[in-house]
Structure 1
Amino acid sequence: MNYKELLAQAAELDRQIAAARETEAAAALAEIKTKIADFGFTVEDVFSAKKTRKLRELSGPRYRDPDTGATWSGMGREPLWIKGKDREAFSIMGNLFDA
């Protein structure tokens, strides 16, 4: 086979793929519509994004860098200024009681 013949085959396959997709998509959509009607689903039932995870309460800063004043809540990646160090030394609550 030469290049032009392969291109012609590719074009024919693309046409067949598009036709098969159209036929199968129409059948799938008809089935979905039937299921929605059978069970009485609403748009919200079908398309709503239910959140399964509870969102954490927003907490204020728990640690402060005395040099820059930068704060960190203790959640997520450790900032470089506290990484590998004793967190108690940077605790905001601990500092409130020292005064």
Structure 2
Amino acid sequence: MNEHLSLKEIQEQIAKLQAQQQKILSERKSEILAEIKSKISEYGLTQSDIFGNAKKSGTKKPKMIRYYDRQHGISWAGRGRKPPEFENLSQEELEQFRLDPPVAADLLD
């Protein structure tokens, strides 16, 4: 390339090259898409063959809270590790925080 090109000339060349790039990409995408469609038809592939079965969307069952300290806003479902605030409590002390019946986590507060 010529080292004495003006800024405007360089910008024009860049624009021309970018237009060529877009044209080549567009043509290549069309070719690839045609190949893919041909293979899908040839092998009788379905959408689930290609992408797998879609997961069923739905609402998750809310986590049920069995123990709740209203003063500190600490909750525990009764499964897994106890929150540090509940760890050193005896069973009798823990029962003071029991919610009966358990409450959905999104209903607290």
TM-score per shorter chain, which class?
0.5 to 0.7
Change (3 A) 1:32 1:88: farther
Change (3 A) 1:15 1:22: same
Distance 1:35 1:65 in 2: 61
What one-letter code is carried by the residue in structure 2 that aligns with 1:36? I
Q: CA RMSD of the aligned region, Å? A: 3.3
Distance 2:61 2:88 in 1: 22
Residue of structure 2 in register with 1:87 after alignment: 87
Q: Deviation of residue 62 (structure 1)?
A: 4.1
Between structures 1 and 2, the one with greater strand share: 2
Say which is worse superposed, 57-66 or 35-44, in terms of deviation. 57-66
Matches within 5 A, 1:1-80: 1-47=5-51, 50-51=54-55, 59-67=63-71, 71-73=75-77
Change (3 A) 1:26 1:88: farther
Q: Deviation of residue 12 (structure 1)?
A: 0.6
Q: Deviation of residue 34 (structure 1)?
A: 1.2
Q: Deviation of residue 13 (structure 1)?
A: 1.1
Distance 2:14 2:78 in 1: 57
Unaligned runs of 5+ residues in structure 2 are 99-109
Q: Deviation of residue 22 (structure 1)?
A: 0.9
Q: What TM-score do the two structures reach when normalised by structure 1?
A: 0.58
Kindly provide the CA deviation profile for residues 10-35 of structure 1, in whole angstroms up to 9, marking residues without a partner as x.
11111111111111101110111012
Q: How many residues align?
A: 82
Distance 1:31 1:73 in 2: 53
Distance 1:58 1:87 in 2: 24
What one-letter code is carried by the residue in structure 2 that aligns with 1:11? A
